[in-house]
């Protein structure tokens, strides 16, 4: 049991020394960031832009009521 604890401590030291505090979770974080960046860079579909425009026009009319 002592060997396992020593091995785990050595792994934690390597992670800290490499500047990767998340360890295996870093890959998940990189993939999520990549997915988010791709999603944000996509253009808005024309139909969705039309619906947003209609909604913006309808909201000032509701405020006057």
pLDDT score of 61: 65
Q: Is 23 helix (H, G, I), strand (E, B) or coil?
A: coil
Contacts of 44 (CB under 8 A, 6+ apart): 52
- Under a CB-based contact definition with an 8 Å cutoff, are residues 21 and 15 in contact? yes
Rg (alpha carbons) of the chain, rounded to whole number:
25
pLDDT score of 41: 87
Q: How confident is the model at residue 3 (pLDDT cuts 50, 70, 90)?
A: low
Convert the pLDDT of each residue in 8-57 to its tens digit.
Answer: 555 555 555 567 777 888 889 999 999 999 988 888 889 999 999 999 99
Q: Is the model's pTM score more than 0.85?
A: no
E strand intervals along the chain: none
Tokens 């992670």 locate to 15
């Amino acid at each position: 049991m002592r060997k396992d604890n020593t091995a785990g401590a050595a792994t934690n030291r390597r992670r800290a020394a490499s500047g990767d505090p998340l360890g295996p979770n870093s890959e998940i974080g990189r993939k999520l960031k990549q997915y988010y960046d791709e999603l944000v860079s996509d253009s808005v579909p024309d139909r969705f832009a039309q619906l947003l425009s209609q909604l913006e026009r309808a909201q000032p009319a509701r405020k006057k009521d």
